Amino acid sequence: MNHSDYPQIRQAGENALLIYLAPVADPQVLAQVQWLSQQLRQQLGSLLQEIIPSYNSVLLVYDFLRLDQSQLELCLADLLAQLPELALRSKQGVSSSKSAADSSGKLIELPCYYSAETGPDLAAVAAQHHLSVNQLIKIHSEQQYQVYAIGFAPGFAYLGWVDERIATVRLTTLRLKVPAGSVAIADRQTAVYPAASPGGWNLLGNCPIPLFDLQKDPPMALSTGDAVRFVPIERAEYLRLGGQL
Amino acid sequence: MTAPRSGSVSESAALVLQKVNVFTQLQDLGRFGAASMGLTQGGVVDATSARLANALVDNEPTALLLEIGLGAVQFRAIGSVTVAVTGAAMPVFLNGQRYERYQSMQLQHGDQLEIGYSKAGVRCYLAVGGGFLVTPVLGSCATVLREGVGGINGQPLQSGTALTVAARPASTTSTVIRLPSVRSVDYQFQLKAKAMQNIPFVAGAQQAELGAAILARFQQNVYQVQPMSDRMGMRLRGAALPVASQALLSEGICLGAIQLPADGQPIVMLNDHQTIGGYPKIGAVTRLGVNALGQCRPGNLLRFVEVSQQQAVEQARAHELWLSTLEQQIRG
């Protein structure tokens, strides 16, 4: 786990490469993951079938009948050589250059109605950590999260990291149906269920704004690397925004 | 995609699903560019058979067709429809009369088409001249039931549903096209019904974590396809491989990835695979290997054979050259 061994390019399949930027995931690594994904999208476009950014890595799936892997590796080496500079800029908080600004991502505020009726585990999670429900809501909503990965289901964004004081292990029994919009935590991650699905995370509330909507273009506002904050809302506001009870 | 070709159009035709099951799905070559939003690629598992079916009815390779798993499905034609069936050895009956696969057939209004259970292979492909007409979602019509995306509203096909056939120029030939025989397909690309198959794979990213010995042991093992396999993943059983206990941060998964969960029994990711995951991976089966896996049924025995990335590219190029040449010959 030596940072100096990174970044690493490894074969994932006949037409797929995995680029590990660091052995761990933190906001700085995530900024690099996002920057690299954007650069690759811009430079190689249709020669790439997929770019999947996640935590500390980027998976590239490319059209290997049209793009030679050695060319791809040259392009990657070029981009990876620019990474340390990017890290330095973001450390100093200078966002004047375009690439640094690009890599900082968007901040998206998501309304959340924290309540027993939308978050059946709210009281139990608070009790487990010897907190009042209001303290739990405060701790969950004051933290600014980052999208570390998107997967599991369309639009499901893994947000990190919740304050250690409220980190909560998954439920021992999976719920067969978690309602769409449910805001939940598991260990030090939090997420919004974009659609109704089975799930084992602890439910704290509900976000009435759809995170994933195929009728929209793009269907998803969030990308890996973006920042998210939950804004507590009252019942009336929740219903006004289209929340379901 | 499924859009009709330009020119004057004939009256709209359809295939009515009279008997259907959940293994029968509308598919195309897959949905790409949406994995960063958590959407898998979907698409036909045996892409070679699917492309031949489309070629036999003079469609583009990307046209929407039916992937029929298991078999035992029935259709009725509305209007005049050209169809072709390829892939798994499922018996084809037109109004009760047996027809061979790998040829185009002209269905008239009211004709009954029946496809029986497979004698070899798992998936057959039914293409219609013009392709099925469905609105694409994020660039593809491929059905992914787990995501509720693609096909008809992301839902399983229902008996009684009429699948509209995209109209195309009236001038388009309705001559019957047929491959001289299934054996005209190069032997290396033929659908095999062998008890033991070799599946090519490229060694992958987590060699260091899994240990050098694992690659050799994976190739020495004989694996049996398990009944729990589906379009997400093919589950295998053989001598358990040693697994390093360390958990990985979730990372992107590609088609064919060979995951090694804690029980040491590999799972090969097929077209509806999840987009990210944290299991270590031995490598990934090549696309040609995935085509072959798509026709393996529970109980079949497999052996995995490592190929270099360069060898995989050469094999893929040779296959593409053969397939595209055959497609051109079929179209005349």
Cis peptide leading into A35, omega within 30 of 0? Answer: no
Which of A83, A103, A123 terminates a domain? The answer is A103
Out of B138, B316, B320, name the one closest to residue A14 (CB): B316
For residue A219, being part of any structural domain is answered with yes
Q: Do B267 and B233 form a contact (C-beta atoms < 8 A)?
A: yes
Give the pLDDT score at B245. 65
Q: Is there a single domain that holds both residue A97 and residue A111?
A: no
d(CA A1, CA B218): 26
A132 and A11 in one domain?
no
* Domain shared by A25 and A113, yes or no: no
- The whole-number average pLDDT for the span A8-18 is 96
Looking at A61, A80, A103, which one is the last position of a domain? A103
A134 and A63 part of one domain: no
pLDDT recorded at residue B111: 98
Q: Is pLDDT at B211 greater than 90 in this prediction?
A: no
| Co-location of A219 and A143 in the same domain | yes
Q: Kindly state whether residues A213 and A177 are assigned to the same domain.
A: yes
Decide if B252 and A50 are in contact by the 8 Å CB cutoff.
Answer: yes
**Minimum Cα–Cα distance from A54: chain B residue:** B251
Residue A182 belongs to some domain of the structure: yes
Of A13, A55, A56, the CB nearest to B257: A13
Interface with B, mutate which of A2, A14, A46, A59 (most B CBs under 10 A):
A14
A189–chain B Cβ distance below 8 A for any pair? no
A24 in any annotated domain = yes
Tokens (6 digits) for B273:
């695979």
Residue of A nearest to B275 (CA): A151
How much of chain A is in helix, strand and coil states, percent to nearest 5? 30, 30, 40
The interface predicted TM-score of the complex, written ipTM, equals 0.91
A202 in a structural domain? yes
**Same domain? A234 vs A121:** yes
Amino acid symbol at B219? Q
Tell me the range of A171-175, B210-214, B243-247, B268-272 where mean pLDDT is highest.
B268-272
- Between the alpha carbon of residue A187 and those of residues A89, A200, B174, B248, B254, the distances in Å are 31, 11, 62, 16, 27
Which residues of chain B have a Cβ shorter than 8 Å from any chain A Cβ? 32-39, 41, 137-138, 147-149, 202-205, 249-257, 274-277, 281, 283-284, 286-287, 309, 312-313, 316-317, 320
Q: Is the pLDDT of residue B16 over 80?
A: yes
Cα separations in angstroms, B124 against B4, B89, B197, B213, B277: 24, 7, 19, 38, 30
Residue A27 lies in a domain: yes
Closest CA to B295 of B312, B317, B270: B270
Please give the Cα distance from B162 to A237 (Å, whole number).
44
Do A87 and A113 lie in one domain? The reply is: no
CATH of the domain at A51: 3.30.1360.40
Residue of A nearest to B145 (CA): A153
Q: Residue A89 and residue A109: Cα distance in Å, rounded? A: 26
Instruction: Say yes or no for a CB contact (<8 Å) between B276 and A152.
Output: yes
Q: Do A220 and B35 touch (CB under 8 A)?
A: no
The partner residue sitting opposite B276, judged by closest CB among A14, A51, A52, is: A52
Do A112 and A202 lie in a common domain? Answer: yes
List Cα–Cα distances, A245 to A107, A140, A241, in angstroms: 28, 22, 12
- Answer yes or no: do A220 and A185 share one domain: yes
Give pLDDT, residue A93: 45
Final residue before a domain boundary, out of A71, A103, A135: A103
Q: Encode pLDDT of B258-295 as tens digits.
A: 999 989 999 999 999 999 998 899 999 999 999 999 99
* pLDDT at A97 (0 to 100): 41
- pLDDT tens track for A42-97: 999 899 999 999 999 999 999 999 999 999 999 999 999 998 766 655 544 444 34
What confidence score (pLDDT) does residue B210 get? 84
Question: Each residue of B21-66: pLDDT tens digit?
Answer: 999 999 999 999 999 999 999 999 999 999 999 999 999 999 999 9
| Cβ pair A57:B317 closer than 8 A | no
Domain of residue A229 covers: 107-240
- Please report whether residue A245 resides in a domain: no
Computed over every residue of chain B, the mean pLDDT equals 89
Residues of B in contact with A51 (CB under 8 A): 35-36
In a domain, A186, yes or no: yes
Claim to verify: residue A36 and residue A51 sit in the same structural domain: yes
What integer pLDDT is reported at residue B326 of this predicted model?
86
Q: Strands (DSSP E) along chain B, which ranges?
A: 13-19, 24-27, 65-69, 73-78, 81-87, 92-94, 97-99, 104-107, 112-115, 123-128, 162-165, 196-203, 223-225, 233-237, 251-252, 257-259, 267-269, 276-277, 281-285, 301-306
In chain A, the number of structural domains is 2
Per-residue pLDDT tens digits for B103-146: 899 999 999 999 999 988 999 999 999 999 999 999 999 999 99
**In a domain? residue A217:** yes
Contact partners, residue A77, CB within 8 Å, separation at least 6: none
Predicted local confidence at residue B161, as pLDDT: 97
Shared domain check, A204 and A133: yes
CATH number of the domain enclosing A150: 2.40.100.10
